[in-house]
Structure formats: structure tokens, C-alpha cells
Structure 1
Amino acid sequence: MATRTFFARLLVLLLASSPLVGCGDDDSANNAQPNNAKQDVGGDTGQPDAGADASADVLEDAADPDLGAAQPLFEPGPFEVGYREIEVTYDPAGDVTERTLPVKVWYPAAADSGAAPASYAVGGIVEVEPELALDAPPASPDGPFPVTIYSHGSGGEGLLAYPYGELFASWGWVVAAPNHVGNTALDAIGNSSASFAANTLNRVTDITAVLDALETGPGDEALDGLSDLEQVFLFGHSFGAYTTLAVGGADIDFDALQAGCSSYGDGSCEFLAQAEVETTFRDGFGDARVDAIGPQAPALVPLFKDGELAAIDVATMLQSGRLDATTTQDEQAVPAWNGLDNPNDIWVEMPRGAHFSFITICTDLTPDLLDVFRPDATEDGCGEEFIDTTVAVPTLRAYLLGFAQWQVLGESAWATVISDDLVDGFVVTTR
């Protein structure tokens, strides 16, 4: 226990110099905003406005019945929420014989179980109080349930999905969020981070492995047989958005990745030289079980081959912040939107949103701890000039939930609801 506490404290110090995401550059990105972008209530021009979107006003709006048909998306569904942690093990491509992933799972629970509240500790040190989740109650007997998978950003962890996981599970979804081992916060502690190229591959095969485990049964009495793999939604943040697009069906330009491998300086060239690795990349990562995707603040968009985003068969809800300094709007989100080509695609933008507007570290960490844990966050989502994450995250997850209910479950009534600006501070673009 003493060793764990030491490493947990050390984590905070080490992560100050560990980037949360790797991103690519694209000098040819189209900087223009789409012509059919709906304007928010304040008539936003795309530039930050210190007087617009005051957090208190938006919070009041988000809780106001005037949201009309969108109001249910901001509220828990009919199910109690269970939370469990499992492991998934599989054989990855390359010279590693076995890969074991810790996976956080939220699920619809049996009513009146009497279970205690779940316990969250981000990075093993930052305790976060759950809103809905209970500690390992029995599953609801009403399953099987549709599945949502979350892919965290580089240097993050699956637990960061908890605001999304709780809401989705309360609506009747099984939500699984793996730790992408080799690309998590804890890997910085043990100097065990994998190479960039390895993470680019392992992340996508992690998602398929988790889907396989849910389909066959992960060996947990509550979760075995609980998932309906005919109904799957996938979303992810930053490097996790890259993962989402790849598993959604967009192929990587392996030749370009290999040509630039020496610039990574981390063993990527040696990893890519393995025949099995090259074959896996060239075969593509698309998983036909995925019915819709939701990339947030996408990274590495230039890594996809020309035309690959348009080849994604399923609908996409792209979410981005115009003030993102890590995966910038012009280099990542704009090319992603321009590349996608499904008639049901939706782009949700936050004019005052930035990279850390999609997760809750701005509020989960004290200002002093945030300054150590993620010193750049105040300049990329956690400062006063940005949308409050207590507004951003509930609204982002409401959009994702409505999109998943529509595209995965076929509840078409949500299409009109989520095609509009639900609260001030958001701009929605449709095809």
C-alpha cells in the first residue's frame, strides 16, 4: 500500500511533462467554416467573446424545462447504474505475446440492490465522487443491452469516461472504457510507455478485443451475456478520436507512417518493421460491429489515407472546440469534417471550447493540483475564457446520447432534437 501511494503521488509530478495527445500537422487544412453551420443564440462568429456564454446562464439553461424535447438527454434514464472493473487479455500483433487491459464498465443495474456508491480514483490518487454509479450491484434482468465503448486520450485512462458512462448506463447501455496500456498516465510512472507507432496500432486492436470479450463473456457474473453486440456505439477523445475513426473504418496511410518513423525517436521504426505489424496495418482496422461513432477533439487526422474518412460507412458525430490548442480546429477538426461524407453526420462545435473541455479534470482537480498535473490545461480549456466544463461535458454527452439512440437504436425522433443548438455556446452543423 505504501508503494502504491508513493507511485500515485509520483504520477502527478511526472505527468506535468507527459503530453496527453500526439497530433499530426496538416498545412493544407481548409480553414473555412462550413456554410451550413447554424449560429448559436449569441450570434457567434467563431472568435471568443468574453461576454458570451456565461457559465451560470448556461447552467441555468441546461437545467431549464425550456429545453423541451432535449431535456431528457440531460437527465438520468430509468436504470440504476452499476460499476465494475475487469480485465481483458489478448494476443496483439508484433513481438508481444500477451496484452492485458484494465477495463472500466458501467451497466444497467438491478433496482434496489442496496449496493454502496462506487469509488473512483483518477490516476490512483484523485478521488472523484460518482453521481449515479453503485459498487458492483447485480445487473438488470432486462438485458441484453446495447454497447458503448470509450477510447481515452494519450496519457489518460478509461475512468475519464465516467460522466458519459453513468448517463449512458442509466439509459440502458453497457459502457466499457479500456486503459490503453502503454499509453496511460500510469505508464509515465514506470517508464513503460510504448512507442508512438505501437500505440497507433494497439489502441485500435484494444477496442476490437474489448468487443470480443463482451460478445463471448468477460468472465464476470454480472456482465456475461449482458451485451448486445448487434448495437454498438464508439466514441473517444483526442488520440481516442483517432482510434474511433480507425475502428469506424478509416485506413491508416502505413507508408506515410513508416516514412516518418525516425522522427518519433522511440523505437517506432523497429516496431513497424515487423511483418505481422505491417500486415495488420494494411489489412485495416474497421470493425463491422460498430454502428456509429463520436470522435471528440480528433488527433492525427492527416494519418488517414486520402478518401478514407469518406469511406466510413457509419454515421459520425464530430465534436470539437474552436479554441483547441493541442489538436487545433484548422489542422484536425476541419479536415475531418471535410473528409467525412455520410448524410447523417453531425458536427457539434464549442466556440469557446478547447482540448480539455471534453473531460472533467478542470473541476476534478484543485487549481494547485491541476497546475502540477496538467499545467497547460489552464491555456487549453480550464481558464476563465473557456466554456465551463460543468456545462460542456453534460451537453456533449447529451448530444452523443441522442445520436447513439438515433443511429444505433433507430429512435429517429432524436434526429431533429440533436440537429439544433441545445444550449447557448454550441454550434451544430448538419449535411
Structure 2
Amino acid sequence: MTSLLLVFGCTPDPAAVESGGPCAGPAAPAIDIEGAVAGTRESATSYAIPWSGETRDLALHAWYPTKDTEGEAARWLDLFDDPNSLVDASFAPINETCLAPLVVYSHGSQAWAGNGAPILRQLVNAGWVAAAPDHTDNLLTQNEDPKPETFPLLRTLDVKATIDWIEGLPEDDPLYGRVDTSKVFVFGHSYGGQTSWLLGGPTFDATAIATACASSELGCTEAEEAAFAERAVDPRVVAVAPLAGTVGTNLVADAGWESLDRPVLFMTGSADGDGTEAFTRAAAGDVTWVELAGGCHESFTSTVVPCDLDKTLGLTVAATYIADFATREVLNSEDATVLGVLDGSVEVDAIATLQR
């Protein structure tokens, strides 16, 4: 997969694009797990870690609307083929005077960005642009252990750097001036679910952090401990959806959830443990919990493992809730179906149980 800029199409005047409003509409996106196709590209970025000054390098991936139906299939980590993600496909926005909303995905521990592609492509087909980092030192093919106590913070900064990359695209890039980064939706799986929760605004427990640092194999510098107290939640992130991921008391105490100030869609599978504790601890916030009966840990990703829940059905139901949630929170949708799905009055499938 190349890291070159896309060279097709023309670059619009950003002012003209912004005046056209968002590309995606307020209606519920159609879900087609097996058929949805998106263009994809690979790039890279880096940033200075605030508490150490060290440079952190990231591989990045983007997905965008295309009318292409064939081309080079993406190959994630040089291991997994994805025929529905077409490398450097032509960019085809919903219209020429619109601004695409942005969704960012955070993968799980020892996973990869493309693990979230089946769901990301559903939003892309509705006019969104999607981006995801490969979290350095936490990939299937490159995983460092032990990790510093600050690694949960690093993951949130990876998401920030991904948004910054979209904002900083050069003028000759086809996506330049076409993506709205002022209201970003973030979702993640497993460890990426924890990352998503943390981007929602809970406050770290200083006592628990100090205890963890004291017992850590790597220890913590004063600057690292201070980073937990000083971190600021990215104001561009307006809604989050953690999938099969929680935050323990080693990071956030019960009282810390009082500062949760972004709406949350929390999704779990019944065969992957009980989400009641996480849902209850976050009750001070605006949290919707959807459990998939028979759902397993990987029911939300491209990874295929033995599970009683049919893979395509699980992804379809999960993508429906995620797409409708993003449409409501980012695009301020008042579509009756979108709102009905999210308040439970419209059934998506009998496998889903919704609580608020």
C-alpha cells in the first residue's frame, strides 16, 4: 500500500465547500457489511510526546467515498487482504460543495487499523471520511511489553494526531478542505474501547496512578505522573463509542466519571463478559448500552473467531447502532428512524438489548 498523495480530481475552494454543509445526510445510513466499498490510503505522521519530548511515529490509514468498484485490495500488516478497501481509489464526494464529517477508529491491543474497516466503510458510504492510526508498539506484528503506565494517554494522543493529520493535509491533496474536523466521532474496540471512553472526559484517579507508577516495572517520571492530571480532552471529539472495552479503577475512580461530558454508545457481547459494572460506573454521563446476545469479543471487528453469533449479523447490528449514533451526535439528526433506534423504540434485531 503506498503512502503517496492521491493525484486525481481537483481541489475545491475550502470556503465554497464549507458553505455547502455536511456531505452526509441526517437519515439513517444503509448498512451493507459485505458489499460496501471504500477507497483507502496509507500515510504517516509523528508528534512530540508532551511529557518526554520524544518523537512518536504513527502509520495512518484513511477511507473515503469512491465510485470505483474494482482495484488493488488493501493488505493490512502485509497479512490480511481487504477486497472492499481499494488502495488509492478515486475520491468521489457525495457532492462537490460539501464537507465530510470525520470518524476516527482506535484498534484493540495487538490489532491493526483495518480491523475496523467493515464498520468504517458503512459511514464512508454515507459520505463520511474515516481515519485510524496503527497504534505504535501495540500492533499484532509489533507489540512492546511491558508498556509505560502512560500508554493509555499515548493512545488518546494518537487519536489527536490523526485528527491533526487530516487538518494539516496540503492544498494539493484531494481531501484538503473537504473534511470537517470541528465535530469528530471516535469509536474503538477493546483497548481502543478504553481509549474511546477516555476521550469522553472522565478524570484520572491520581492516587491510583501514583500506586501504579510505584509498582510499575518501568516506573514513572514526575512529568509522566503529572501528565495524567494535566491532560486535556480534545474538544473536537464530540461523541464516542467504546466496543467491548472498559476503564478500570486503576485509571478512573467512580467519582471520576462525573466529568464524562460526551455522549457515549457502549456496546458489548453477552459471551464476552457482563458490561453492567462499566455501565453503572459511568451512569453520571449520557451513556447508551447495547448488548448483543451471543456476541463475542471480536463480533465488532473483521477478525474471524469461533462465536455463536453470526459474523455478518453481529457486524450489521453493531454498525447500525454506531452509524445512527454518529449521525445523531455529529450531524444533529432528528430523523425518526435514527432517534427510534437510539431510544429503543425501533428494533434493529432481536439480538440487541438497549439500556439508558
TM range (shorter): 0.7 to 0.9
Show the counterpart of 2:154.
202
Aligned to 2:102: 147
TM-score (norm. length: structure 2)? 0.82
Instruction: Please list every run of 5 or more consecutive structure 1 residues that lacks an aligned counterpart in the other structure.
Output: 1-69, 363-381
- Which of 119, 138, 141 does residue 183 from structure 1 map onto? 138
1:284 maps to 231
1:253 alignment partner in structure 2? 205
Q: 1:91 aligns with which of 34, 39, 48?
A: 48
- Return the index of the structure with the highest Cα Rg: 1
The secondary structure found in structure 2 opposite 1:147 is strand
Please tell me the residue identity of whatever aligns with 1:310.
E
Match of 2:117 in 1: 162
CA distance in 2, matches of 1:233, 1:200: 19
1:383 aligns with 2:325: no
Q: 1:139 to 1:97 in 2, by over 3 A?
A: farther
> Equivalents in 1 of 2:123, 2:28: separation in Å?
15
Counterpart of 1:224?
Answer: 176
* Partner amino acid, structure 2, of 1:121: R
1:416 — aligned with what?
340
Identity over aligned residues, as a percent?
Answer: 26
Residues of 2 paired with 1:341 and 1:149: CA distance? 25
Q: Give yes or no for contact 1:116–1:134 (8 Å, CA) kept in 2.
A: no
- AA aligned opposite 1:287: D
Q: Which runs of 5+ in 2 are unaligned?
A: 1-26
CA deviations on 1:316-369 (whole Å, 9 max, x unpaired) are 110011221xxx32xxx322211334675311101211212111211xxxxxxx
Q: Please give the secondary structure, in 2, of the residue aligned with 1:231.
A: strand
Corresponding position of 1:305: 253
| Aligned equivalent of 2:240, options 293, 296, 309 | 293
Residues 107 and 72 of structure 1: is their aligned pair in 2 closer, same or farther, counting only changes over 3 Å?
closer
1:103 aligns to what?
A: 60
Q: In the aligned structure 2, how far is the partner of 1:341 from the partner of 1:348?
A: 14
Number of aligned residue pairs: give it.
Answer: 321
Q: Kindly tell me: are residues 264 and 395 of structure 1, through their superposed partners in 2, closer, same or farther at Cα, counting changes over 3 Å?
A: farther
**Structure 1 residues 357 and 73 mapped into 2: Cα distance closer, same or farther (>3 Å)?**
same
Task: Assess, with a 3 A threshold, how the Cα gap between structure 1 residues 343 and 304 changes in structure 2: closer, same or farther.
Answer: closer
More helix per residue: 1 or 2? 1
SS at match of 2:259: coil
Q: Does structure 1 retain, via aligned residues, the 8 Å contact 2:106–2:133?
A: yes
Partner of 1:119: 73
> C-alpha distance in 2, partners of 1:212/1:354?
33
Runs of 4+ residues deviating >6 angstroms: none
Q: Is the 8 A contact 2:267 2:290 kept in 1?
A: yes
- Cα deviation for residue 308 of structure 1 reads 2.5
Distance 1:217 1:195 in 2: 31
Post-superposition Cα deviations, 1:193-217, rounded to whole Å, max 9, x if no partner, equal 5614242221011111111222232
Q: What is the distance in 1 between the residues matched to 2:113 and 2:172?
A: 18
Partner secondary structure for residue 84 of structure 1: strand
Match of 1:320 in 2: 268
Deviates more, 1:156-165 or 1:415-424: 415-424
Q: Distance in 2 between matches of 1:194 and 1:220?
A: 41
More strand per residue: 1 or 2? 2
